[in-house]
Amino acid sequence: MSFLVLLLAVWIEKFSALRHQVQRDSGWLRELAKHEASPKLANRPWLVLAMLVLFPVALLGLLLLVLEPVAYGLLALPVHLLVVIYCLGRGDLLGGLGPFRDAWRREDLQAAAHVAERDLDICADSGEQLLQRVQAHLLWQAYQSFFAVIFWYFLLGPVAALSYRLLALAAEHGKNPAVVERAVQLRHAFDWLPVRLLAVSFALVGNFVAVSRVMLHELLNWNISAAQLIENVGVVAGEIPAPVAGPEGVHSLDQIWELLLRAAVVWYAGFAVWTVLH
């Protein structure tokens, strides 16, 4: 059922508006702000995360325990699908890059810097650094919004996928430094395995030798962040040239996207083979 859910999730994401209806975080974010502001919980970040992450995840697990034995699991299928859709990243990644791409293609670095800060929350000291940060943004957002979610869903089911997304929301939107720190630590643990699996996928569909050189030093490095690792590997795997203004710079973003698409095909092929063998 997991592979079928992943196929349906991709189809719905591309051809349906259901994703925007399902991905509503406002209620959960209000609860996060409420718990962070509570004097009783201000110095108890683990309790805040338990109430906002562990509790809803436990409820989901209980619901699935009840539904999965019924009708050969058919009643659980829509729950799995809705959870996966909810756990995918927010917003339109390629659409969000549109204004930046247009400005960069025109070699209007001032406009590119403005839209990057407005739309992507990216600032830089130079045009070259700006493009590098946008490239890193594309790699990281594609990883955390798609690859990490489908990895944990396929490996451990919707409970793990929901845990990852709620921790990501706490890390990105939390205002209490202690809560954010704990959420980042837990998310780092969640990211350790799938980001390395994606790096291996980049080696298979990109420059294998260049990726191997990077991974040789970073494979077991616990301290490197997932964002930094995926940037280092993605740039060499896609053989991305030095940043330049104009159409060539925009083409580097297309190269990264094509690399991500090829990696996604490898993952889905792997999921399909695993499903058939088991």
For residue 246, is it left (φ>0), alpha (ψ between -120 and 50) or beta? left
Judge whether 92 and 20 are in contact, CB under 8 Å.
no
| Cα–Cα distances in angstroms (integers) from residue 224 to residues 75, 184, 195, 219, 236, in the given order | 41, 13, 11, 10, 17
Torsion of the alpha carbons at 251, 95, 226 and 217, rounded to the nearest 10: -10
pLDDT at 70 over 80: no
Residue 16 to residue 264: CA distance in whole angstroms = 20
Tokens of 115: 């839209």
How much of the chain exceeds pLDDT 90, in percent? 68
Please, which contacts does 250-254 make with residues 24 or more away whose CB atoms are closer than 8 Å?
A: 250/101, 250/104, 250/105, 252/131, 252/135, 253/97, 253/101, 253/134, 253/135, 253/138
Residue 86 to residue 94: CA distance in whole angstroms = 19
Q: Give the pTM.
A: 0.94
Q: For the segment 2-29, what is each residue's pLDDT rounded down to a tens digit?
A: 889 999 998 887 777 778 888 889 999 9
Residue 184 to residue 129: CA distance in whole angstroms = 25
| Cα–Cα distances in angstroms (integers) from residue 272 to residues 77, 82, 206, in the given order | 18, 21, 22
Tokens of 224: 């490197």
Judge whether 138 and 256 are in contact, CB under 8 Å.
yes
First vs last C-alpha separation in the chain: 12
Residue 218 to residue 41: CA distance in whole angstroms = 37
* pLDDT at residue 164, as a whole number: 97
Residue 136 to residue 138: CA distance in whole angstroms = 5
DSSP label of 145: I
Predicted confidence band at 41 (pLDDT cuts at 50, 70, 90)?
Answer: confident
Q: For the segment 220-268, what is each residue's pLDDT rounded down to a tens digit?
A: 899 999 999 999 999 999 988 888 888 888 999 999 999 999 999 999 9
Alpha carbon 157 to chain centroid, angstroms: 16
> If you average pLDDT over every residue of the chain, what do you get?
91
Tell me what the mean pLDDT of segment 113-141 comes to: 91
Question: Which value, in Å, is the radius of gyration of the alpha carbons in the chain?
Answer: 20
- How buried is 27 (Cβ within 10 angstroms: 0-12 exposed, 13-18 middle, 19+ buried)? exposed
Judge whether 76 and 67 are in contact, CB under 8 Å.
yes
Residue 57 to residue 61: CA distance in whole angstroms = 6
The SS3 call for residue 55 is helix
